[in-house]
């Protein structure tokens, strides 16, 4: 009988009580080099962990446009060719001011980078670096994002 209650809690009650996931968009920035494909990662401002440029949707921009805007502000991506369809999605819990977390679904857009700027809005707040897809996957915390990086 306990199994029935546990299953009902997990399958029926918890989904109702959980907050819906909010949407963010991300740019998975890459470039092809003689050594192979390289992926651009940046550090987050609060924890310093490695992430891809991402943010909330922007009024007046579609998903790929908003992802490129975030790539400019956070990583200095000036020129890139972005695909119009999402490459994939991943999920994470965003830590908010006050200590609570917000479940987020991130739509990831591939962006082939042709130019990076030295000076950009968040240059003093983040580090950026190019990695092989496998090395990038080993540096991010989100397993689904790591899978997307490995598949690249």
Exposed, middle or buried by CB within 10 Å (0-12, 13-18, 19+), for 101?
exposed
In the structure, what pLDDT confidence band is assigned to residue 100 with cuts at 50, 70 and 90? confident
| Structural domain boundaries in the chain | 20-151
Position 8 scores a pLDDT of 65
For the stretch 54-85, pLDDT in tens is 999 999 999 999 999 999 999 999 999 999 99
Q: Looking at domain 20-151, what is its CATH homologous superfamily?
A: Nucleoside Triphosphate Pyrophosphohydrolase (3.90.79.10)
On whether the pTM is more than 0.75, the answer is yes
For the chain, what percent of residues have pLDDT higher than 90? 77
């Amino acid at each position: 009988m306990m199994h029935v209650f546990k299953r009902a809690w997990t399958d029926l009650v918890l989904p109702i009580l959980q907050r819906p996931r909010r949407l963010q968009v991300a740019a998975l920035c890459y470039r092809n080099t003689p050594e192979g494909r390289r992926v651009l990662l940046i550090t987050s401002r609060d924890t310093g962990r490695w992430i891809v440029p991402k943010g909330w949707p922007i009024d007046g921009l579609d998903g790929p446009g908003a992802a490129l805007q975030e790539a400019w502000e956070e990583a200095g991506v000036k020129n890139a060719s972005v695909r119009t369809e999402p490459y994939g999605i991943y999920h994470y819990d965003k830590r908010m001011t006050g200590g609570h977390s917000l479940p987020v679904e991130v739509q990831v857009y591939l962006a082939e980078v042709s130019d990076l700027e030295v000076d950009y809005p968040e240059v003093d707040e983040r580090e950026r670096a190019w990695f092989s897809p496998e090395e990038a996957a080993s540096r991010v915390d989100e397993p689904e994002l790591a899978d997307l990086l490995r598949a690249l």
